[in-house]
Amino acid sequence: MFSYRHAFHAGNHADVLKHTVLIAMMQHLAQKDAALMVLDTHAGAGLYRLDGDYARTSGEAADGILRLAQADAAALAPALQAYLELVRAFNVGAGIKVYPGSPFVIHHLLRPQDKLKLFELHPSDLRALTRNVAQLEAGRQVAVLHEDGFEGYKKFLPPPSRRALVLCDPSYELKSDYGRVQDLVADALRRFATGTYAIWHPIIGRPEAHELPRRLKTLATKAGKPWLHATLTVKSAKLGAPLLGASRRPGLPASGMFIINPPYTLKPALQAALPQLSQLLAQDGHAAHQLLAQA
């Protein structure tokens, strides 16, 4: 149950997609004065060393944030510029050795009136998250909760301010996670139909993974809510497919972000960013992107 550690994957292509979307949403939601409640159901450790043992073992950041950072920043879409600027804010000098996970991405964009609730069950990640958050000296604005995020979110919806963003990005290490994500979304829409719900999901050869986006679309449509689905593929899912001048390494080939009640600014932001991401982060000739939306 507790074998997954995001430190192995910090800064990979899935993080680039997830955090580009997250930042674009946070920037829009911050334009209204009313307080925002943000819930991160699977917070992880919060901060990651890209030169640490975990990240160096997988080397996934080299094909994610580190490759994107080599691009001409002036030529990048605004959403990607904002993403790189935020990541670099956690680093000194030109290099990137520290990668902010979702809790620190969100906190960086919080205003004094906003609140952040972080859920984490993994004992090691919980200890790291608690230490990292303590350095922020954020007081009661940020709460670290040793709870199952699939259940803990319930007591915070609806929020007093009637404004909330829920980020749900489990590891999907357990097949049951797919069903629990679906249950969370269905329940959250009943509790607070106008909240913004952001679901990260892997795109892999598993029936549950294939079905999840379709089921989320059905839930949103039945609730009469707009949705947006952005996907990024960086390589073939087939083992043994040729890479660009390198030997094949196993790893996640693609991922997606499914948003219910997305900010209206998100679709144009991603229309500009996704083609650049699929080009810059391509690991073979199968790289692609897709952006679907229903108002």
What is the set of active-site residues?
169
| Interatomic CA distance for residues 151 and 290, integer angstroms | 31
Residue 125 marked in a binding site: no
**CA contacts within 13 A on the Cβ side of 165:** 29
**CA contacts within 13 A on the Cβ side of 149:** 26
Residue 148 marked in a binding site: yes
| Interatomic CA distance for residues 237 and 46, integer angstroms | 29
Residue 53 marked in a binding site: no
| Interatomic CA distance for residues 102 and 132, integer angstroms | 13
Residue 169 marked in a binding site: yes
Residue 33 marked in a binding site: no
Of the candidates 104, 135, 88, the residue with the CA atom closest to the CA atom of residue 40 = 104
Residue 183 marked in a binding site: no
Helix axes of 123-134 and 102-109: crossing angle, nearest 10 degrees? 20
Residue 44 marked in a binding site: no
Binding-site residues, please?
19, 42, 102, 120, 148-149, 169
Name the binding residues for S-adenosyl-L-methionine: 19, 42, 102, 120, 148-149, 169
